[in-house]
Amino acid sequence: MQLQAAIDRLSLDDAAALAKQLDGVVDIVEMGTSLVKDYGYHGMITMRAAVQRSRLLVDLKTIDEGAYEFTQGFQAGADILTVMGASSHATIAAVAAVTQAAQRTMMIDLMETTADKQAAISDFPEAIYCLHHSTDRQDKMAPTATVAAFHQQFPSLKHLAIAGGVDQAGAAALATQGLTDIVIVGSAITKANDPAAAAHDLMEVVHK
């Protein structure tokens, strides 16, 4: 399993400084959607410059105009880009084509998708499917149960990620379960007193 650290809602200077602290410590550094919408393409370039050893995911949350957004995101240097599962199938197919041509990676964010919608977009076996619990929701997700249910429904999808309120205990349970490629952690790292130390601790749990 790999650890992705999501950076959000900071000034670009602070986000880049935090990214440098986490670079080479975590497997994947995420430039969160808030940073994309606040700082745009220039922000992506800045974050790419800060992240040299880890992979960089830019959380574009594309939901339309797939080819344009993914072309921009990969041109800015992202290794992984996100598309919403709630998009039309045509949008997901468009970003899949751009991703394949760029020889990089796409993540399909399943936030708020129904089982029917998930089935309708389950034909991208190279993609990472991300089980994602909206941060605006007050309820909580049970990580291992969520992953197990999705795996049972879609056994042919081999690349799974999970995001949304996963803490150290949740990450440990996911590592033991062995079905998840990437666990995405935000504030448990970025709001820690020592983010690099928190990331180190989580890396031990994730890679044990």
Complete DSSP assignment for 63-102: -S-HHHHHHHHHHTT-SEEEEETTS-HHHHHHHHHHHHHH
Query: How far is Cα 202 from Cα 189, in angstroms, rounded to an integer?
Result: 8
Joined together, the tokens standing for residue 122 give 């389950």
**Which class for 181: exposed (0-12), middle (13-18), buried (19 or more C-beta within 10 A)?**
middle
Rounded to the nearest whole angstrom, what is the least distance from the CB of residue 43 to a copy of itself in the complex? 6
- Judged by beta carbon, residue 60 or residue 157, the one nearer a copy of itself is 60
Is the CB of 84 or the CB of 189 nearer to a copy of itself? 84
Would you say 85 or 143 has its CB closer to a copy of itself? Answer: 85
User: How many residues are there in the chain?
Assistant: 208
Provide the minimum distance between the beta carbon of 177 and a copy of itself in the complex, in angstroms, as a whole number: 25
Environment class of residue 139 by beta-carbon count within 10 Å: exposed (0-12), middle (13-18) or buried (19+)? Answer: exposed
CB nearer to a copy of itself: pick between 27 and 59 = 59
CB of 21 to a copy of itself, least distance (A): 23
Q: Fill in the DSSP letter of residue 167.
A: -
Smallest gap from residue 134 Cβ to a copy of itself (A)? 4
Residues binding a copy of itself (CB under 8 A): 8-9, 33-34, 36-43, 60-61, 63-69, 72, 84, 86-88, 90-91, 94, 111-112, 114, 117, 134-138
We find the least distance from the C-beta atom of residue 142 to a copy of itself, in angstroms, to be 17
Nearer to a copy of itself, 134 or 176 (CB): 134
